[in-house]
Amino acid sequence: MLRSLLPTRSGMAAGLKRVWRPAYLGLAPAAALAWLWFGAEGAIILLVAALPIALATEPDAAPGARGPAPPEHEPRDALSGLVLRTRAEHALQTVLTHAASTGKSTACLVLVLDDARLIVERHGQAAHDHAIRRVAERLLVTMRQHDTVARLEGDRFALALGPMRRADLETLIQIAARAQAAVQEPMSIDAMTLYVSCSIGFCLPGRIVEPTGAALLTAAELAADDAWRNGPSAIRAFSQEIAAHAEHRQSLRDQIEFALDNGQIVAHFQPQLSTDTGEVSGFEALARWKHPERGLLPPGEFLPALTSSGLAARLGEVILFQALNALRAWDRAGYRVPNIAVNFCREELRNPKLVEKLKWELDRFDLDAGRLTIEILETVVAETENDMVVRNIAALASLGCGIDLDDFGTGHASITSIRRFTVSRLKIDRSFVTRVDCDPTQQRMVAAILSMAEQLSLATLAEGVETVGEHAMLAQLGCGHVQGYAIARPMPFDETIAWLERHRTKLDETPNLGRRTG
């Protein structure tokens, strides 16, 4: 019975650790005097009497004022050596709990590396891991000693700010900018220079309804997601609007697979015209979501949710089927549409069975491979080192499919890459087309692209043509094909037949715009 009331060895050790602080060492002189006057028994009696008073006056021991204490041997991230999510939440909660008595507050920042996936693809996993460690080191040096730097899931880091007198929007923007500057300093890895950028989201306690450590970190993550989507190197403060958008995206993510399987995701078709003859040279198939409650949703509304759900390849299958079906229907209706263009994502191009699957689909619809154009983003051509992607694009070109390099001018593809991937047509990005009819700089840029394409025997198509003036200038400069709202907006298949008929009538009644030959 008596033994059960005595402290254990571990309990005594913990107690000694707690009292071995400057505030408690003030008892030492009194204990020494008691020893001299009354002997060892007197010193013990004094300590027993005074120790509870010292413990009761410990600054962070007020009832209800302390968050859960962190474990003595808390887990750490094996790669970076940083503490994990729970420690960041604890640090935030501790400051929030004491805020009323100390007059100090906190905030949370979440940092996301913009192109971590590309580091792996270009330089390998070892380079990625090295970059993570360097980022962790730089953040530790940049932040204050009582701030907490934690690694979250994936390529994310949390910065839980220690107690601070002034936590406002301007201060947080400055802290975010300082963290960005530290991370984005060039890194040297295996005798090469690596440039890493990051986007940051942050949240102040006053921005959320019930500020807790966990809620503050979650809100900062939502802001970081928004920054990453608008990056690179973007900074966003959490707001209720961001929360509403996140809830909207989550709702779409939960519905997207059902939509794919039940015909809600449909192809809309945008015509492409020859500037030589004015004739239709093809259509591009573009995905749209016929949402039962929200109406027709453009790709920007649902593609991020679809991609994050791992359904990008499934979307490609749906759009390819509808595109080939439309091409066969135009043939049967007596309208000449030379080809249909379909976007292929990176995930599809990595599929070892892509070419065999495409052959089967073409045979199924009794269509020649030359009537299918594969659109590939310039960023894929510029950045990929994946042998399977290279193999598949080359095999598709050998099969007879056209290869369009989409968004040309934005991805820094080299001439070597263009030849390596057997590109047959450059699709000039909208950024070069805007105001080309009245901006001499735009005209020079487009003329340079067209000259290069001519020297490489590549066809050209300008996308995003929105005015008759842009259309006319592109024709004069020598661009072979145009696409955009000035010709027609993307339309469901049911409307394409009527549009083709109107366009045929228009060609018969008016002279062609452009460089008619012959």
- Which domains occur in the chain, in start order? 15-56 (no CATH), 85-238 (3.30.70.270), 252-507 (3.20.20.450)
pLDDT for the residue numbered 220: 95
pLDDT of amino acid 112: 95
pTM (2 decimals)?
A: 0.57
Spatial distance between the Cα atoms of 278 and 82, rounded to a whole number of angstroms:
62
Residues 6+ apart with CB under 8 A from 349: 376, 380, 386, 388, 389, 392, 393
Kindly provide the residue ranges of all beta strands, DSSP E only, lying in 75-124, ordered along the sequence. Answer: 108-113
Task: Tell whether the model's pLDDT for residue 410 goes beyond 90.
Answer: no
Structure tokens at 3: 């033994």
pLDDT (0 to 100) of residue 418: 76
* CA separation for the pair 239, 406 (Å, rounded): 35
Identify the H or E element spanning 498: helix 493-509
- Euclidean distance between CA atoms 114 and 198, whole angstroms: 5
Task: Check whether 422 has a pLDDT greater than 70.
Answer: yes
Mean pLDDT for 238-259 is 78
Amino acid 46: pLDDT? 55
Q: Are 449 and 409 in contact (CB under 8 A)?
A: yes
Confidence of residue 321 (pLDDT cuts 50, 70, 90): very high
The per-residue pLDDT of the chain, averaged, comes to 83
**What pLDDT is recorded for position 270?**
97
Q: What pLDDT score does 125 carry?
A: 84
- What is the per-residue pLDDT for 240? 85
187 and 132 Cβ atoms separated by less than 8 Å: no
Give the chain's radius of gyration (CA, Å): 32
Local structure of 354: helix, strand or coil? helix
Residue 18, pLDDT above cutoff 70: no
DSSP code per residue over 415-480: HHHHHHTT--EEEE-HHHHTTTTT-HHHHHHHHHHHHHHHHTT-EEEE----SHHHHHHHHHHT--
The H-or-E segment that residue 396 falls in is helix 387-399
Q: Which of 183-192, 201-210, 229-238 has the lowest mean pLDDT?
A: 183-192
Element (H, E) at 19: helix 9-19
pLDDT above 50: residue 58:
no
Residue 502: strand, helix, or coil: helix
Residue 164's DSSP bridge partners are 105
Q: CA-to-CA distance for 214 and 225, rounded, in angstroms?
A: 17
Confidence of residue 5 (pLDDT cuts 50, 70, 90): very low
Please report which confidence band the pLDDT of residue 303 belongs to, taking 50, 70 and 90 as the band edges: confident
Contact 138, 183 (CB under 8 A): yes
Least confident piece of the model among 11-20, 350-359, 389-398: 11-20
Question: Could you give the 3-state DSSP secondary structure of residue 134?
Answer: helix
Give 384-405 pLDDT, tens digit per residue. 555 788 889 889 999 999 999 8
- Confidence label for 119 from pLDDT (cuts 50, 70 and 90): confident
The rounded distance, in Å, linking the Cα atoms of 235 and 466 is 32
Q: How confident is the model at residue 115 (pLDDT cuts 50, 70, 90)?
A: confident
Residue 404, pLDDT score? 92
Per-residue pLDDT band at 12 (split at 50, 70, 90): very low
Place of tokens 């530290």: 182
Note the pLDDT tens digit of each residue in 74-91: 789 999 999 999 999 999
Cα 8 from Cα 16, distance rounded (Å):
12
Whether residue 7 has pLDDT greater than 50: no
427, β-bridge pairs:
461
Higher per-residue confidence, 8 vs 441: 441
Upper half-sphere CA count for residue 441 (Cβ side, 13 Å) = 3
pLDDT in the model for residue 386: 57
How far is 136 from 128, CA to CA, in rounded Å? 12
Q: Give yes or no for residue 517 having a pLDDT over 60.
A: no
* Band of residue 154 on the pLDDT scale cut at 50, 70, 90: confident
Nearest-5° angle of CA 130, CA 136, CA 137?
90
For 463-493, letters b (16+ CB in 10 Å) and e give bbbebeebbbbbbebbbbbbbbebbbebbeb
Name the nearest CA neighbour of 384 among 411, 409, 410, 357: 411
Give the mean model confidence (pLDDT) for residues 351-371.
93
Q: How much is the pLDDT for 209?
A: 87
d(CA 75, CA 445): 55
The confidence score (pLDDT) of residue 67 equals: 37
Tokens 């997601």, residue located: 225
pLDDT, one tens digit per residue, over 443-454 is 999 999 999 999
Tokens of 209: 């309804």
Specify the pLDDT at position 64.
Answer: 33
